[in-house]
Amino acid sequence: MKIFLDYKKVPRVGTVVALGNFDGFHLGHQEIVKQTVCQARAMGLPALVMTFHPHPRRFFGADLPLITPLGQKMSLLKKAGIDIALVQQFTQVFASVSPQSFIEDILAASLGCRHIVVGYDYTFGREGSGHTSLLEELTADLGIACDIIPPVKYGKDVISSSAIRKFLAAGNIEMAAKYMGRPFMVRGRIAPGAGRGKFLGFPTANIYPFTAAALPAFGVYLVQVCVQGNPYWGVANLGRHPTFPGGQISLEVHLLDFHNDVYGSTMCVSFVKRLRPERKFPDADSLKNQLVQDVKLAKTLLANDNMLKLLRI
């Protein structure tokens, strides 16, 4: 997959284009991309996803936690079969482009778009004034085919990024995973911590999520970890660690039955089940006793075959 940061740099060849932010890359987004790839293969054209950085809502000042960091989003798009990822830099100049100019000058003239695929609620152009009805009208005038993908639902509820953020904030990672079609994941480089876990007999591998990240509710979780190319189970604490105040938000993972040095390695942490909320303990011994119980609970859950079904969503 080729990645471009400006539509002006994309080679002028015919394309099938999917438009959207794709934060969370949930089942609805996956359906849009699937249809884009299928159409591109049928037409013998490259499948192109046009997304935006920063997220337009963040650009205009919204405090919007991001479910899927850009690097992870690119990996997911590549895995889904996308040939070209256009990560358009969202600037004031770009934000001022009219809906008509966006379609005619950028998609048609610059990207050579022959077919467009968007979700049912997609908006475009200055102040989001362009809606799917206008998109269909403008593309028809240009001879560009246009597919509007209807909402994808879980039961009676529409799958959306905003719903996933609410599930994460409530610690309901199981429902977030069902909407995303995979467990929620945090990725980062393992950094030294304060060493308290090792002192308590539960050494941890620590990563520090980026400040704009959407995160699950603070607490202790059963997680599956990939580090140095190998999978492990672990018990993770996400939060500010109130028993020892003053630290920044971190994800501290105690890998079960693992004793190697992994500092500096990249770690991917998939959240499987919340074990308990984060809380403050009166002293280190009380915390240690709770950690013993947390690990015991995690191993009990892993011994239950039904638990492993969570990873298959």
Per residue of the chain (313 residues), give pLDDT as tens. 999 999 999 998 899 999 999 999 999 999 999 999 999 999 999 999 999 999 999 999 889 999 999 999 999 999 999 999 999 999 999 999 999 999 999 999 999 999 999 999 999 999 889 999 999 999 999 999 999 999 999 999 999 999 999 999 999 999 999 999 999 999 999 887 655 655 466 788 899 998 889 999 999 999 999 988 889 999 999 998 777 776 789 999 999 987 777 777 899 999 999 999 998 888 878 888 888 999 999 999 998 766 656 556 5
| Same structural domain, 302 and 245 | yes
DSSP states along 48-91: EEEEEES-HHHHTT----BSS-HHHHHHHHHHTT-SEEEEEE--
Task: Say if residue 88 is in the same domain as residue 179.
Answer: no
Domain boundary among 124, 154, 184: 154
In a domain, 159, yes or no: no
Please give the pLDDT value at position 248: 82
Calpha distance 68→153 (Å, rounded) = 20
- Bridge-based pairing of strands 113-119 and 15-19 is parallel
d(CA 129, CA 63): 22
Residues 95 and 180 in one domain: no
How far is 281 from 241, CA to CA, in rounded Å?
10
Report the side by side order of strands in the sheet with 15-19: 2-4, 84-89, 47-53, 15-19, 113-119, 145-149
Same domain for 144 and 183, yes or no, is no
pLDDT in the model for residue 308: 59
Q: What is the pLDDT of residue 92?
A: 94
Residue 165 lies in a domain: no
The whole-angstrom separation of Cα 157 and Cα 80 is 24
- Indicate if 145 and 7 belong to the same structural domain: yes
Does 275 reside within a domain?
Answer: yes
Are residue 6 and residue 149 in the same domain, yes or no? yes
**Does one domain contain both 229 and 278?**
yes
Do 56 and 25 lie in a common domain? Answer: yes
Q: Does some domain include residue 105?
A: yes
Q: Is residue 295 part of a domain?
A: yes
Instruction: Say if residue 87 is in the same domain as residue 225.
Output: no
Q: pLDDT tens, 238-278?
A: 998 777 776 789 999 999 987 777 777 899 999 999 999 99
| Residues 25 and 141 grouped into a single domain | yes
CATH of residue 87: 3.40.50.620
Region for residue 160 given its phi and psi (left: phi exceeds 0; alpha: psi -120 to 50; beta: otherwise):
beta
Neighbours of 260 (CB within 10 A): 10
- Domain total of the chain: 2
CATH number at residue 192: 2.40.30.30
Q: How are beta strands 157-158 and 153-154 bridged, if at all?
A: antiparallel
Question: Looking at the domain assignment, is residue 160 inside a domain?
Answer: no
| N-terminal to C-terminal alpha carbon distance within the chain | 27
The confidence score (pLDDT) of residue 210 equals: 86
| Domain-located, residue 167 | no
Per DSSP, the residues of 230-290 read EEEEEEEEEE--TTS-SPPPEEEEEETT-----TT-EEEEEEEEEEEE----SSHHHHHHH
- What pLDDT does 257 receive? 81
Strands 84-89 and 2-4: parallel
Average pLDDT score over the chain: 91
**Does residue 28 belong to any structural domain of this protein?**
yes
Residues 88 and 203 in one domain: no
User: Does one domain contain both 76 and 144?
Assistant: yes
| 198 touches 286 (CB < 8 A) | no
Task: Provide the residue range defining the domain that includes 133.
Answer: 2-154
